[in-house]
Amino acid sequence: MLGYRFSEFVPEESGQNADFESLLKIFLQLVTITGGDVSEALAWLNNLDKQYNITSDEYGMGNFIDDLKGKGYITDENPEGRFEITGKSEQTIRRSALEEIFGKLKKSGKGQHKTFYSGSGDETNTDRREYRFGDTLNQISMTDSLRNAQINHGLGDFRITEDDLEVMENEYKTQTSTVLMIDISHSMILYGEDRITPAKKVAMALSELILQKYKKDTLDIIVFGNDAWQIEIKDLPYLQVGPYHTNTVAGLELAMDLLRRRKNPNKQIFMITDGKPTCLKVGIKYYKNSFGLDKKILNKTLNLAAQCRRLDIPVTTFMIASDPYLKQFVQEFTEVNNGNAYYSSLKGLGDLIFEDYRRNRRKNF
């Protein structure tokens, strides 16, 4: 008898559905780059089709656009009749960013981070202890308790008393409040280098990570240019740079204000930027200096770094640049705050943020 023979399974392509999925991946990347401009993304996709023949005679761009509408990725139901992405697209973009940046992430249980404390917590571990008043029934290890009862009382007079009960220890879990600051100054697209798209992808991946895996955590997102303001997670695909300077002080002040409202003890700030602070608001006017490190702006920024340290709020800076004088600023800022700093290529930015997010969450309080 030969039995069963196993070979590599190669699934068959599902025709038009496979064509749609392939084009959808490209389309979502282009929508992210264009800041949510569907018409511009489709124009770019058409140009790519002309150059690389990414569609076929059986499935063309017209079919793809119809499917985008039919499957609920885009809509033209607005007063102007223009194409817009839907909430389904926004979520798909975030999930794609999560897969692209945190693709090595493995699934786990409830998704909240652990401390080194045990007791009446959220998740069981392998430790055992005696029963204490207030322990719940589902914490009792019945196998261990029955064994103890047999040893203590024997089979002839079998009974279970409070002294026989063993309880499975639980681990406490904590919550983390994170503020993510994204630099949208003009330098994020200066000299033809697109730095804002990777920054957006990281922000979307981190937000989706928290929504899926760390549901008890909070994430606030801030963008900062001449001023700083808060945006929603759903706004991330539409984020674009402006003709702004870099007002790091405004971003830090808003981040600290948001974190003051959070009642849990674990707080942290992530800042993605590619340059030095160049702007400060004094009264109703802006004080700006793009040439070198201005002492007036620098001192105010460092004062806020020290204030964050006193409040036990670490700031992790991700510098998308390698200029020596910029590194000097970040090193000084990090030393004053007692935080972390990384100098990253655009390709490695996501992994660095993920590693630091995990590390900062493992704190004892």
Kindly state the average pLDDT of the residues 74-91: 90
pLDDT, tens digit, 9 for 90 and up, residues 1-23: 455 666 676 655 555 677 899 99
Q: What is the mean pLDDT of residues 196-218?
A: 86
Look at residue 363 in the predicted model and tell me its pLDDT: 47
70: CB partners within 8 A, 6+ apart: none
Task: Reply yes or no on whether the pLDDT at 227 is more than 70.
Answer: yes
Q: What is the pLDDT of residue 153?
A: 83
d(CA 277, CA 302): 11
pLDDT at site 120: 43
Token code pair at residue 162: 């409070």
- The two three-digit tokens of residue 116, written as one number: 């080194």
Of 304, 361, 359, the closest CA to residue 337 belongs to 304
For residue 311, the model assigns a pLDDT of 94
Q: Is the pLDDT of residue 126 over 70?
A: no
Residue 178 has pLDDT above 60, yes or no: yes
pLDDT band at 109 (very low <50, low <70, confident <90, very high): very low
pLDDT at 179 over 90: yes
pLDDT interval class at 267 (50, 70, 90): very high
Least confident piece of the model among 109-123, 198-212, 261-275: 109-123
Per-residue pLDDT, 105:
43
pLDDT confidence of 310, banded at 50, 70, 90?
A: very high
Give the mean pLDDT of 63-82. Answer: 92
Q: Is residue 286's pLDDT more than 60?
A: yes
Is the confidence at residue 289, as pLDDT, over 90? yes
Lowest mean pLDDT among 105-119, 166-180, 277-291: 105-119
Residue 323 reports pLDDT greater than 90 = no
Whether 230 shows a pLDDT value over 80: the answer reads yes
Considering the domain delimited by 176-361, tell me its CATH architecture.
3-Layer(aba) Sandwich (3.40)
What pLDDT band is residue 160 in, cutting at 50, 70 and 90?
A: confident
Which residue, chain included where needed, has tokens 């639980």? Answer: 170
Choose between 253 and 77: higher pLDDT.
253
Res 183: pLDDT: 95
| Of 292 and 191, the one with more pLDDT | 292
pLDDT for position 127: 67
The whole-model pTM stands at 0.73
Question: What pLDDT score does 106 carry?
Answer: 42
**What integer best gives the mean pLDDT of the chain?**
83
**Residue 309 exposed, middle or buried by CB count within 10 Å (0-12, 13-18, 19+):** middle
Mean pLDDT, to the nearest integer, of 245-264?
Answer: 95
| pLDDT confidence tier of residue 107, bands split at 50, 70 and 90 | very low
Which residues face 114 on adjacent strands? 173
Mean pLDDT of 172-190: 86
CA-wise closest residue to 202 among 184, 180, 222, 224: 180
Q: Is 232 exposed, middle or buried (0-12, 13-18, 19+ CB in 10 A)?
A: exposed
Q: How far apart are CA 151 and CA 28, in angstroms?
A: 65
- Percentage of residues of the chain with pLDDT beyond 70: 84
Q: How far apart are CA 175 and CA 113, in angstroms?
A: 7
pLDDT greater than 50 at residue 110: no
Q: Which residue has the higher pLDDT, 145 or 172?
A: 145
